Amino acid sequence: MRLCARAGCDQPVKKRTNKYCSVRCCAIDPERLERLRTQAQRNGRRTVLPLARQLSLEIWGTSLANPEAEIALLGEGREDVPRGMSRLVV
């Protein structure tokens, strides 16, 4: 039988897969809280680049002069009716 993982608690756990005897023991376990704290600090140090620095939006550079032409270029490859549905169109 497994015992609760919190230091100072000698209660048995209710299921084989559990680590703590209760939600309360899990919430107040100092080792778990320290592990979560260090994990949060480690994740907080990661630098996240702003989206503008991650993506290159050169495709939209020419659209400032003529947005209608840019939309027409994007729609060039699209079909009005999908290929499989063309036989249904009258």
- Enclosing domain of residue 33: 1-46
CA atoms of 37 and 62, how far apart (whole Å):
48
Does 9 reside within a domain? yes
Average pLDDT over residues 38-64: 67
Tell whether pTM > 0.75.
no
Does 70 reside within a domain? no
> Is a pLDDT exceeding 90 seen at residue 23?
yes
Domain count for the chain: 1
Does 78 reside within a domain? no
> Between these two residues, 33 and 52, which has the higher pLDDT value?
33
DSSP states of 66-77: -HHHHHHHHHTT
Does 81 reside within a domain? no
pLDDT 10s digits, 60-75:
555 566 778 777 777 7
